[in-house]
Amino acid sequence: MAVQAGVRAAIVTRQQRRRNLLPYMLALPILIYEGLFILLPIVQEILSSFTNDVIGAGAVKWVGSANYTRMLNDPNFWKSMRTTLTYMVLVVTLSLIIGLISALLLNEAGRGRSIVRTAITLPWAFPEVPTVLVFLWLLNPSFGVINIAAHLLPGVEQNPRWFLDVNWAMPSVVMISVWKAFPFYSLVLLAAMQTIPAELYEAAKVDGANSVQSFRFITLPSIAPTLTLLGVLACIFAFRQLVLIWLTTGGGPGGATETLVIRVYNTAFRFFDFSYGATLGTAGFIVVFVITVIFSIMQSRRAGDKS
């Protein structure tokens, strides 16, 4: 009996060990992937920013903070950073506003809501390359149909050269980016709105609140955490946008749409200055990291206020 009890205890102990190791075994592939394809490239990029890795410059040498000094004194860097922040603010603001309005409309819609919801997801579902090709036709300065609407604007007498004019290039890129991005934010906000108890709106209606007051005091506070998270994600997505800008303007004309990501690409893969490109990429990584930290602090404070 004692032997059988000992065997059973050993089996139970072995099973408990397996159960304790199971979460770590399931997480191991993800950790390996994150380490090889995310953390390792980040570390390599940071290390490369302290070298003189330029094709034709001979052996790679450690140069310390020389690349960062060059970056801080480079007017083109500050211009691309300013362009990036302008693009990010415009895209994030317009995408969230249009996404919020469309979510409110979808939340109030009756029959045909599923059809409208499916239709509104099409821009988000489109790959970026076909999206660019469609807008290249729509914004063609000779026969693009959007030229018809442009002539309704005051002061527009000729067909705008959308991607070749300094004044129109940024609005054109922002318009395409917003069209591509807002459906995602709309659907997420719609899902958040549908979790709000209907009893809150009924009680507000009994108390005499109108639609604007219900939105201000019920809907907006309820979706505020989701809206904040989407704001951070939108900032990150806009900050690292490459394909839409590269395929439409390539950063031109005259650097009017050259964001930091475009400048990193040009520096590293057109001029083969890999170390300075890594320095610019590290600067972008720091900006995104700061945005994420600010969001985490905001979330922690909001959770502390609720508790």
pLDDT tens-digit map of 144-156 = 888 888 877 777 7
Residue 155 tokens read as 């002061």
pLDDT of residue 295: 84
Residue type, 70: R
Q: What does the alpha-carbon distance between residue 234 and residue 27 come to, in Å, rounded to a whole number?
A: 28
The H or E element spanning position 80 is helix 75-108
Cα 268 to Cα 282: distance, rounded to the nearest angstrom = 13
Q: pLDDT confidence of 28, banded at 50, 70, 90?
A: confident
Contact criterion met (CB below 8 Å) for 214 and 128: no
In this prediction, residue 150 carries a pLDDT of: 80
CB-based contact 187:117 (threshold 8 Å): yes
Contact, 204 vs 216, CB < 8 A?
no
Rounded to an integer, the average pLDDT of 5-28 is 67
One-character DSSP codes across 196-212: S-HHHHHHHHHTT--HH
pLDDT digits (tens, 9 = 90+) for 224-246: 889 988 999 999 999 999 999 99
* Average pLDDT taken over every residue of the chain: 86
CA gap 50, 298 in Å, rounded: 33
Asked whether the whole model's pTM tops 0.95, one would answer: no
Map tokens 């309704």 to a residue: 152
Classify residue 250 as left (phi > 0), alpha (psi -120 to 50) or beta: left
Distance of CA 216 to the CA centre of its chain: 27
Whether the upstream peptide bond of residue 253 has omega within 30° of 0, thus cis, is yes
- Band the pLDDT of 110: cuts 50, 70, 90: low
Pick the CATH number of 74-306 from 3.30.360.10, 1.10.3720.10, 3.20.20.10, 3.40.50.720: 1.10.3720.10
Distance CA 258, CA 247 (A): 12
The length of the chain, given as a count of residues: 307
Q: CA of 282: how far to CAs of 4, 164, 196, 259, 263, in Å?
A: 62, 30, 41, 14, 13
